[in-house]
Amino acid sequence: MSAEVTTGNKVVIKHAKGGDIKLSDDGTNAVLGLMGFAHFANVNSGTPNLYFEAGTDGDTTPLQLRASLWKATTNSSGTEVAFYTASDDPVTALTNDGALWYNSIVDEVDIMIHDGSSWVGYHNFSAAYADCDPNGPIVSASTPLLQSDGTALVTGDLWVSTADLENYPAIYKYNAELQNTPIANRWALLDKADQTSEEGILLVMHVITQQAQTVVQQATLMHY
């Protein structure tokens, strides 16, 4: 965190890693207002990218604001909604209409392959996939050098990269035949725009429904 005053007598606060910045008045003096910071209401009012801290508003004392590149959401009436709740588990507490829950789990991925007539788990597609990572797709921010159990990677292993969540998922397929190249270069990126060829990937929303005690599950990621 750093702060400076420009030649135009404006206060500039910076976050070196690009994260959110929480601002709070001292409870006695409206310091934030004196420095020119105000809750962003629209393009004509307030400081861009500066919003009320979740659960607070203009009547909260002391004033609490959050500077964020995430844009505040609004409900159907145009009223600003507090920042979403990110958690592994669903929110069970009483919430306002329009509140959002972001499921922050990114390492649970289902991969299925089309065998010409139906979708099957990629481990069961053919004997060639039987030796792929026993725990399924490898979900990791860094390039995998081994399977999750420490054994060597094999052709057909799949890596779902979490390095760039803005473009998640980036999915790679391993080719063990490229033995004369570094392991990191044996991963081939699958084209998410290709939804017809064997090298493509089809992304589908994960849906689970329960009727008559029968659970129907639709895979998140499907590979042709």
Q: Where are the beta strands (DSSP E) in the chain?
A: 2-5, 11-14, 21-24, 50-52, 64-67, 73-74, 80-81, 85-87, 101-103, 111-114, 119-121, 138-140, 158-161, 170-174, 187-189, 201-203, 207-211, 214-218, 221-223
What sign does the CA torsion over 12, 16, 21, 25 have? negative
Amino acid in the structure at residue 105: I
1 is written with which tokens? 């965190």
Query: Would you give per-residue pLDDT tens digits along the chain (224 residues)?
Result: 888 888 888 878 888 767 788 888 876 778 888 888 888 877 788 888 888 887 888 888 888 888 887 765 555 555 555 556 666 777 777 777 766 777 667 777 888 887 778 888 888 777 778 889 998 899 998 999 999 999 999 998 999 988 877 777 888 999 999 989 999 899 999 888 877 777 777 766 544 444 323 333 333 344 43
Residue-range domain boundaries for the chain: 1-71, 79-105, 111-223
Tokens 């060829």: give the residue.
197
Provide φ and ψ at 212, rounded to 5°: 55, 40
Spatial distance between the Cα atoms of 137 and 132, rounded to a whole number of angstroms: 9
